[in-house]
Chains A and B, each alone.
Chain A
Amino acid sequence: MSLMSLTAVELGKKIKEKEVSVSEAADAALEGIKNAEGTINSYVTVLSEEDIKKRAKEVQEGIDAGIYAGPLAGVPVAIKDNMCTEGILTTCSSKILGNFVPTYTAEAVINLIKAGAVIIGKTNMDEFAMGSTTETSCYGATKNPWNTEHVPGGSSGGSCTAVAAEECSYALGSDTGGSIRQPSSFCGVTGIKPTYGTVSRYGLIAYGSSLDQIGPVAKDVSDCAAVLETIASYDPKDSTSVKRDDYDFTSALKDDVKGMRIGLPKEYFGEGLDEEVKAAIFKAVDVLKQKGAEVSEFDLGLVEYAIPAYYVIASAEASSNLARFDGVKYGYRCAEYNGLHNMLKRTRSEGFGPEVKRRIMLGSFVLSSGYYDAYYIKALKTKALIKKEFDKAFEDYDVIIAPASPSTAPKIGESLSDPIKMYLGDIYTISANLAGLPGITVPCGTDSKGLPIGLQMLGNCFAEKKIIRTAYAYEQSHEYARCGICK
């Protein structure tokens, strides 16, 4: 069996104990890529073997010298292609950044490098993280390793498939409206969206600044906790970064949920939810009940307002965040143009794909003169109300359990034709971004088509440890399921 079938923490331990060399671990990742990449398309960029070997050697020396002592030293990682990496192409899966090689590295990635991570490559995503299927990438769709006719989810689709298809040990993703949690659930892996402000956004190419968070994607909860512990930091370069004193997330890895108060919002289990998904989640809830958790249903208000509020806020911020891509300073510039304004327009029109243009247009419109109050301010007020609803819920519950998506992974090509329907698929994940909450998805079985189902747990702000603990306890009840492609 490949070293990539181990969890990141298991592999890190073997490296530390000199059972496995850093270079062997990197080779195993490259082997996994050779095996799966042709069918899955997880990566936009795979680093050259030479560069990987060089880094592996450096890390090995660091480990031998005792400089890299953490659990992830020497373990191969894949980074979503919206995080800047010095000297490595960073595209956001967009033509407009198709030639962009940053000269600086995102803070979260720096934290990994300091812990001895070996970067294997940059993963495919929906263009600028706008999408739920990883089909809007200018580098072609990524496919679900469980069934290549299906999407992997998105936007961190490539990060999730790279983990599931054993093309790396673990990966970093980003989550603006569910972009870690939903593809994790579609690919049968575990992912965490931390509390807003926990992981620095410096170097993360912004989509919706007030919603974006970087988080880990891995095979299990222990890996996710270890990765989050490594990447989370207070960063003076990110004004929205929050100083915390509880970065020891692995301390929450305890198989003990006695007395844990778990709430199931009735609104999340009603119409529109696939029966098989629902059944799998209730089965998982039973496991937690048996372990002593106190489970009850409750009414969570305003659920149906989260998506419209989200799309107003995210599109508005995106329309402004993506204004800098204009062919002046970096990235794509159209070949022919007539004067400045024509150059800007053509560059942007040729450089952005349809979904990105759709959101930029919507965002520009909702901020434009005469509509700002009706749409943007209204959405910010709705956000305040939604936050209040969650504050209320967390007075009574430690953890809220929800599906990650109304169904398992749809077929490729089915979603993009009806944007509204695609947006509705985000209903269970989006509120966490509006309210800044942490969330985790863990696999909880497969449907009759053999596609993975994910279970989502939401915690109150700064209560990562509660969801990590609950997810870990649940995870002890079953084995990690590998997908067909790596067997």
Chain B
Amino acid sequence: MSKEYETVIGLEVHVELATKTKIFCGCSTAFGGAPNTHTCPVCTGMPGSLPVLNKQVVEYAAAVGIATGCTINRFCRFDRKNYFYPDNPQNYQISQLYLPICQNGGISIETPEGGKKTVGIHEIHMEEDAGKLVHDEWGEASLVDFNRSGVPLIEIVSEPDMRSAEEVIAYLEKLRLIIQYLGASDCKLNEGSMRADVNLSVREKGSSEFGTRTETKNLNSFKAIARAIANERERQIDIIESGEKVVQETRRWDDAKEYSYPMRSKEDAQDYRYFPEPDLVPVIISDEWFNEIKAKQPELRDEKMARYKEQYGLPDYDIDIITANKKLADIFEETVSLGSSPKKVSNWLMVETMYLLKEKGMEPDKVTFSPANLAKLIKLTDERVINGNVAKEVFEKIFDEDIDPEAYVKENGLMSVSDEGELRAVIEKVIAANPKSVEDINSGKLKAMGFLVGQTMKEMKGKADPASVNKILKELLGI
């Protein structure tokens, strides 16, 4: 390659909103279910049916807009996007083109070089999802299921501000966290509740003109996105270097085969004939409503990080791990509010929780234990009712089954023994049985203390309070 090229990337991110019902009808958005069991005349395009907008969709869309620094259009409306495809029951999609709900925002990301940059958000609009086409491998037919038809989506269209796969992934991670924090979606790439289409073009380094871009779809993981970006960059550079022109088109990525191919046939002129949806009335967001949505806005990650430092004095390392997932942050705050020491809660989350998540191959979202039980566990260790090793064992039970640690410790007799009389008798026995160690200690090899403590713990089946053991041992040995 003689010339140096720069990759210019913009993203179109579709996010499925976490509403209970579809955008224009009262059908459930729940996953699963036999084909067409979550459908009605509206979401299957029956003649004479009419859409009615789900208010929660507007609130989620506006909340995402506010959190990403967008201007919220106080007057917005829906348009019809006309195209024929059998997963689209009306053969038009209700979307927003002319007056989308949010415009002109941006989010700050960290670049791979360690700096910061803002990726602009051109707009966010509301729209309906399509149904699902299942292609019969052997037969001559495809099957249409409209359960997903009408599930609410927001499409977040970025400016072409990204220059590498790393930046794209940083942007998506940030966006995902914001939306998860808002509770507007669970944003799972692999399950399709977050889908990213990559608009990519290349140009010679230093040029201010944009090249011709392509849009790549069907990217189901960060890895697939990175591979598709590298592949498309190479493909376009090859075309340019061979003196030909990149064609503006939509391509589909096949991650197994690691290549992309053009999606549309001659049968699809990409002319969507948008016009204002006559069956829906405009949405007007008054100051009052706007302020209501804003007031409901939870604290986002950046604000939370600053507060954790200020309020709890946690180390940056802890804050980074705990706030990387809203669920963990929620557990942290609730446990602390029950009186536990912030650093101790943080330790349980960072160390034991992360270890168990990894061990069990779980996402932090799937954590089910209650903050109350973690708080109780911390209290049990603070009051030296149980020792550290027992606590770890009890925590695993809490993690798995959310048991009440107080009851569990009692039922299983896990309380530490700190009764002087009982401990003294056991320790006297241990000393008598290990004259060599006593000799070592007396000759100044204090390391042997550890051995005697260990032997005591063994005799006590792990339930001795280590501090008491130490104290009595020292006393008996006269040191």
Contacts and interface: CB of A to CB of B under 8 A. Distances in A.
Contacts of A344: 84
Interface string B53-89: 1000000000000000000000000001010101001
Most A CB contacts (10 A, CB to CB) among B82, B142, B273 go to: B273
Interface in A381-410: none
Contacts of A102: 46-48
In the complex, which range does the number of interface residues on chain B fall in? 20 to 34
Interface string A308-339: 00000000110110011110111000000000
B92 A367 contact: no
A211 to B, nearest CB: 9
Contacts of A369: 271, 273
Nearest to A364: B273
A372 B48 contact: no
Contacts of A341: 84, 265, 267
B283 to A, nearest CB: 11
Given A239-B51, A323-B92, A341-B267, A329 B45 contact: yes
Given A324-B47, A324-B89, A367-B82, A316 B275 contact: yes
A356 to B, nearest CB: 14
Interface in B118-175: 142, 144
Interface string A335-367: 000001100100000000000000000001001
Interface of B: 41, 44-53, 80, 82, 84, 86, 89-92, 142, 144, 265, 267, 271, 273-275, 278-281
8 contacts: A97-B47, A238-B50, A239-B51, A239-B52, A329-B44, A340-B142, A367-B274, A372-B275
Contacts of A316: 275
Contact of B275 (A104, A239, A320, A324): A320
Given A239-B279, A320-B275, A202 B267 contact: no
B46 A329 contact: yes
B46 A104 contact: yes
Given A83-B48, A205-B47, A341-B84, 19 more contacts: A103-B41, A104-B41, A104-B48, A201-B48, A201-B50, A202-B49, A206-B47, A209-B279, A238-B50, A239-B51, A240-B281, A320-B82, A323-B90, A324-B45, A326-B91, A329-B89, A341-B265, A364-B273, A367-B274
A148 B200 CA distance: 67
Main secondary structure of the interface of B (DSSP, over half): loop
A92 B45 CA distance: 16
A106 interface: yes
Contacts of B278: 208-210, 240, 317
A376 B273 CA distance: 10
Contacts of A83: 48
A236 interface: yes
Most A CB contacts (10 A, CB to CB) among B51, B53, B82, B142 go to: B82
A320 B92 contact: yes
A368 interface: yes
A58 B6 CA distance: 77
A349 to B, nearest CB: 13
B90 A324 contact: yes
Interface residues of A, number: 44
Contacts of B279: 206, 209, 239-240
A328 B48 contact: no
Contacts of A238: 50, 52
A378 interface: no
B109 to A, nearest CB: 35
Contacts of B271: 368-369
B93 to A, nearest CB: 11
B16 to A, nearest CB: 23
A37 B394 CA distance: 85
B86 A320 contact: no
Interface in A33-74: none
A328 B41 CA distance: 14
A337 to B, nearest CB: 11
Contacts of A368: 271, 273
Interface in A279-308: none
A316 to B, nearest CB: 6
Most B CB contacts (10 A, CB to CB) among A204, A329, A344 go to: A329
A84 interface: yes
Contacts of A204: 48
A237 interface: yes
A239 B23 CA distance: 13
A203 interface: yes
A37 to B, nearest CB: 26
Most A CB contacts (10 A, CB to CB) among B47, B51, B90, B265 go to: B47
B467 to A, nearest CB: 69
Contacts of B82: 319-320, 323, 367
B50 A326 contact: no
A372 B273 contact: yes
A100 interface: yes
A98 B60 CA distance: 42
Given A316-B275, A324-B91, A237 B48 contact: no
Contacts of A209: 278-279
Contacts of A330: 46-47
Nearest to B90: A324
Contacts of B53: 239
